[in-house]
């Protein structure tokens, strides 16, 4: 199972950056993350697609 989160962080110069991450819930393994200073719906959707692609290749290589 995967979980995704989108949150705001403040830099040292007091600027906002937006962080998108996807992690595996069972293993708490970070699958994908990216940071931007200008969030847009197209950027968010692209990160989600890249994260899902990464998770499919990662999940297939995990041995239980």
Residue-range domain boundaries for the chain: 2-61
Structure confidence by residue, pLDDT tens digits, 34-55: 899 988 888 888 888 888 776 6
What's the pLDDT score for residue 19? 92
When comparing pLDDT for 16 and 47, which is higher? 16
What's the pLDDT score for residue 3? 87
What's the pLDDT score for residue 63? 41
What's the pLDDT score for residue 57? 63
Q: What is the spatial distance between Cα 50 and Cα 35, in angstroms, rounded to a whole number?
A: 14
CA Rg value for the chain:
13
pTM here? 0.70
Cα 27 vs. chain centroid, distance in angstroms?
Answer: 15
When comparing pLDDT for 4 and 16, which is higher? 16
């Amino acid at each position: 199972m995967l979980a995704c989160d989108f949150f705001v962080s403040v830099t040292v110069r007091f600027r906002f950056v937006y962080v998108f991450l996807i992690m595996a819930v069972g293993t708490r393994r970070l699958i994908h993350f990216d940071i931007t200073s200008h969030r847009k719906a197209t950027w968010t959707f692209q990160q989600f697609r890249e994260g899902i692609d990464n998770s499919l290749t990662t999940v297939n290589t995990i041995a239980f």
